[in-house]
């Protein structure tokens, strides 16, 4: 069970939201109508109630914040140190202290103005005192803007911290970055820690859980530690140091024998000796990881001596590979057994164990003499057992037959069929297809007939019956062949001629501009060509004009166009009307467009995820008598 649940801390609103929530609540929960002709004690009570309600709302919410956040002096030292590393203990205490001071100041402001309001002699004076009281409370809270924002960030980070129980059975992984700590925790637990081929992939503590000997264990993966003084270590490294210092766990110091992590074995040993005071009174195992790349026996003598010295000191060294899973289960079992034995030894050394042992007594029976006492079975029970035995031999089961015959055994269930004629048990069952027995359509002599036919064909082939020579053809057949050849050639020539023939004539590209008649005649005349009496000639412009006489209606007289572009676009109809014959056709196309859009509109309907303002004008904010002036104070 978790020791602390930081996920239950209430959300800390910003200063502006805090003020809006409280004033809106005051407006909703207190009366809103007052008149100046009421008795003065009733007017005073009306405004006193608003001031007291606002003060109580602030008080309750600020007290909730102070209660929810953990007090560093009351929680486990592991969490206290971890919060000091992550959030700075002084800053954290200062923020909570300022919230506490703000709460007391708001209480004092409310008390002072309620006392003053007892002497208010008119509605205006009571109202102004109420405004001043609420304004001072809001000002006090506005000054706590930075503290509230800081506490909200702390709350969000605390809720994302892994739930680590400092008192339960724990395995703690530590070592240089990129030596294989996260890969190990992924193998032995159900955790899914990100593994990448670069240093400091793990930037915070990760927890995985596993079962061993019917007990639940937690495995903590710490960020990598570098070998430098404690003062120079950053926040990421200090999380690992905090876990090593405070968690009662079995420590697994992971070393990379292949040195692919970027640090030599000598550097890894120096880090081990540097943080060794943190391993005091904890079971310790050195895990030589990445043995699939390089085993200890493949190392140089100097590096082999490092592991030999550790083993000589009584520290077990186990080779593992998280890639091939070699030695992973051995490390897990060894670490769990050592930690269990260590915890039992610590409990035996404590004072509580004597109180428990005094209440326990283990009885061990001893032999009273050397006489043999075999088990006694009553005579009647033996007689009943003999009566149940049958002389008939035991029936052989299919299982017994299978064991006897081995691979030669074939399951035959037809022998158990209950038929009138026992000989019919193994008869073949006719196959029926669409009401017909297939056996009726099979010739039993088909294979024999096929052999005879093949022999006959073979004799014909030998006799040369199927050999056809060109000489055997008569003259008529030869004439037909020659004629067919001529027809094929003629057909081929016709296809070629049709391909070469240009049916459409020369084509003008779309981008080519048509030249006016005057320009064309002038250019051709300049080249020495006689262009007189050419009225019957075909010009593109004339042809176009002649066609448009019958097709286009005469345009109404209008103002001359101001620009070339406007004159060109004047004759072009709108996109939604081009190609439409009359109003009936326009109506029909619009209807078709609406029908085609229905499916898309149906998909775009409002759903439960869409934003919806339920009440645009809430009564609690807009009801009540109101004179000219602003309504910001509400």
333-364 pLDDT per residue, tens: 999 999 999 998 888 887 777 777 778 888 88
Window from 147-156, 362-371, 382-391, 621-630 with minimum mean pLDDT: 621-630
Q: What's the CA angle centered on 43, arms 38 and 44, to 5 degrees?
A: 150
End-to-end CA distance of the chain: 46
Across the range 310-328, mean pLDDT stands at 90
- pLDDT for 221: 92
Q: How many residues does the chain have?
A: 634
Report which listed range, 45-54, 70-79, 362-371, 437-446, is most confident. 45-54
Across the range 467-492, mean pLDDT stands at 82
Confidence check: pLDDT of 1 > 50:
no
Rounded CA separation 197/181 (Å): 12
Q: Looking at residue 313, what DSSP letter applies?
A: T
Rounded CA separation 292/326 (Å): 8
Q: Rounded to 5 degrees, what are φ and ψ at 433?
A: -135, 115
Scored b (16 or more CB within 10 A) or e, 403-430 reads eeeeeeeeeeeeeeeeeeeeeeeeeeee
Rounded CA separation 437/431 (Å): 6
Sign of the alpha-carbon dihedral angle for 329, 333, 336, 339: negative
178-213 pLDDT per residue, tens: 898 899 999 999 888 888 877 788 888 899 999 998
83-130 pLDDT per residue, tens: 988 988 999 999 999 999 999 999 999 999 999 999 999 999 999 999
Work out the widest C-alpha separation in the chain, in whole angstroms.
Answer: 155
Across the range 425-454, mean pLDDT stands at 86
Rounded CA separation 151/206 (Å): 23
Window from 176-180, 431-435, 591-595, 600-604 with minimum mean pLDDT: 600-604
- pLDDT for 548: 44
- pLDDT for 359: 82
Q: Rounded to 5 degrees, what are φ and ψ at 321?
A: -145, 115
237-291 pLDDT per residue, tens: 888 888 888 888 999 999 998 888 888 899 999 999 988 888 888 999 999 998 8
Question: 251 - beta bridge partners?
Answer: 172, 284
Alpha helices in 254-378 (DSSP H): 265-274, 301-312, 328-349, 352-357
Query: Parallel, antiparallel, or unpaired for β 284-289 and 317-319?
Result: parallel
Rounded CA separation 389/177 (Å): 74
**What's the whole-number average pLDDT of the chain?**
85
93 — alpha (psi -120 to 50), left (phi > 0) or beta?
A: alpha
- pLDDT for 472: 60
Sign of the alpha-carbon dihedral angle for 578, 579, 581, 582: negative
- Percentage of the chain beyond pLDDT 90 is 34
pTM: 0.54
Strands annotated E in 237-304: 250-256, 284-289
Question: 25 - beta bridge partners?
Answer: none
User: Whose structure tokens read 């690992």?
Assistant: 240
Q: Bigger pLDDT: 113 or 502?
A: 113
Asked whether the beta carbons of 261 and 199 are under 8 A apart, the reply is: yes
Asked whether the beta carbons of 317 and 307 are under 8 A apart, the reply is: yes
Asked whether the beta carbons of 181 and 202 are under 8 A apart, the reply is: yes
| Residues 6 or more apart whose Cβ sits within 8 Å of residue 43 | 34, 36, 120, 122, 123, 126
- pLDDT for 468: 61
Rounded CA separation 266/306 (Å): 8
536-586 pLDDT per residue, tens: 676 654 444 444 444 445 555 555 555 555 545 556 777 777 778 888 888
- pLDDT for 191: 85
Element (H, E) at 18: helix 15-29
Query: DSSP labels for 553-592?
Result: PPPPP-PPPSSHHHHHHTTSPPTTTTT--SHHHHHHHHHH
- pLDDT for 3: 62
Strands annotated E in 39-98: none
């Amino acid at each position: 069970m978790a020791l602390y649940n930081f996920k239950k801390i209430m959300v800390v609103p910003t200063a502006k939201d805090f003020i809006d929530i409280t004033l809106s609540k005051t407006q909703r929960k207190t009366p809103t109508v007052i008149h100046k002709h009421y008795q003065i004690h009733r007017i005073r009570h009306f405004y006193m109630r608003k001031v007291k309600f606002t003060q109580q709302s602030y008080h309750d919410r600020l007290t909730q914040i102070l209660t929810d956040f953990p007090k560093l002096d009351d929680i486990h030292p592991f969490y206290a140190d971890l919060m000091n590393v992550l959030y700075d203990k002084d800053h954290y205490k200062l923020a909570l202290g300022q919230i506490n001071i703000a709460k007391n100041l708001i209480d004092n402001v409310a008390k002072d103005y309620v006392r003053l309001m007892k002497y208010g002699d008119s509605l205006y004076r009571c109202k102004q005192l109420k405004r001043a009281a609420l304004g001072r409370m809001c000002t006090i809270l506005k000054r706590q803007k930075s503290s509230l924002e800081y506490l909200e960030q702390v709350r969000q980070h605390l809720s994302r911290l892994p739930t680590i129980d400092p008192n339960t059975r724990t395995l703690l992984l530590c070592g240089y970055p990129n030596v294989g700590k996260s890969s190990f925790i992924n193998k032995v637990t159900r955790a899914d820690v990100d593994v990448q081929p670069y240093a400091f992939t793990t930037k915070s503590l990760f927890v995985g859980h596993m079962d061993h000997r019917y007990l639940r264990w937690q495995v903590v993966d710490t960020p990598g530690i570098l070998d430098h003084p404690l003062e120079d270590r950053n926040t990421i490294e200090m999380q690992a140091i905090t876990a090593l210092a405070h968690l009662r766990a079995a420590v697994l110091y992971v070393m990379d024998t292949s040195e692919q992590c970027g640090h030599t074995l000598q550097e890894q040993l120096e880090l081990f000796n540097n943080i060794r005071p943190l391993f005091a009174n904890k079971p310790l195992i050195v895990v030589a990881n990445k043995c699939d790349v390089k085993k200890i026996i493949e190392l140089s003598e100097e590096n082999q001596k490092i592991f030999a010295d550790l083993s000589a000191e009584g520290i077990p060294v186990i080779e593992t590979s998280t890639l091939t899973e070699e030695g992973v289960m051995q490390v897990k079992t060894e670490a769990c057994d050592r930690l269990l034995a260590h915890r039992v030894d610590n409990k035996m050394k404590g004072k509580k164990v004597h109180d428990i042992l005094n209440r326990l007594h283990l009885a061990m029976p001893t032999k009273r003499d050397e006489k043999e006492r075999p088990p006694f079975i009553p005579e009647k029970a033996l007689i009943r057992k003999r009566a149940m035995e049958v002389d008939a031999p035991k029936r052989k089961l299919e299982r017994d037959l299978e064991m006897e015959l081995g691979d030669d055994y074939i399951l035959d269930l037809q022998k158990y069929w209950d038929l009138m004629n026992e000989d019919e048990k193994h008869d073949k069952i006719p196959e029926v297809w669409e009401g017909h027995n297939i056996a009726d359509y099979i010739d039993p002599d088909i294979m024999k007939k096929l052999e005879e036919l093949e022999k006959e064909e073979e004799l014909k082939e030998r006799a040369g019956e199927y050999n056809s020579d060109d000489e055997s053809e008569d003259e008529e057949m030869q004439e037909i062949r020659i004629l067919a050849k001529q027809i094929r050639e003629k057909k081929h020539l016709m296809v070629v001629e049709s391909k070469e023939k240009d049916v459409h004539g020369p084509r003008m590209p779309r981008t080519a501009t048509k030249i006016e008649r005057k320009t064309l005649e002038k250019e051709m005349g300049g080249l020495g060509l006689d262009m007189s009496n050419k009225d019957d000639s075909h010009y593109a412009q004339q042809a176009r004009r002649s066609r448009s006489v019958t097709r286009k209606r005469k345009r109404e007289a209008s103002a001359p166009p101001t620009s070339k572009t406007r004159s060109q676009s004047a004759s072009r109809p709108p996109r939604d009307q081009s190609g439409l014959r009359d109003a009936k056709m326009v109506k029909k196309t619009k209807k078709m467009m609406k029908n085609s859009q229905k499916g898309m509109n149906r998909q775009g309907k409002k759903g439960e995820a869409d934003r919806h303002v339920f009440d645009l004008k809430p009564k609690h904010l807009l009801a009540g008598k109101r004179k000219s002036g602003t309504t910001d104070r509400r």
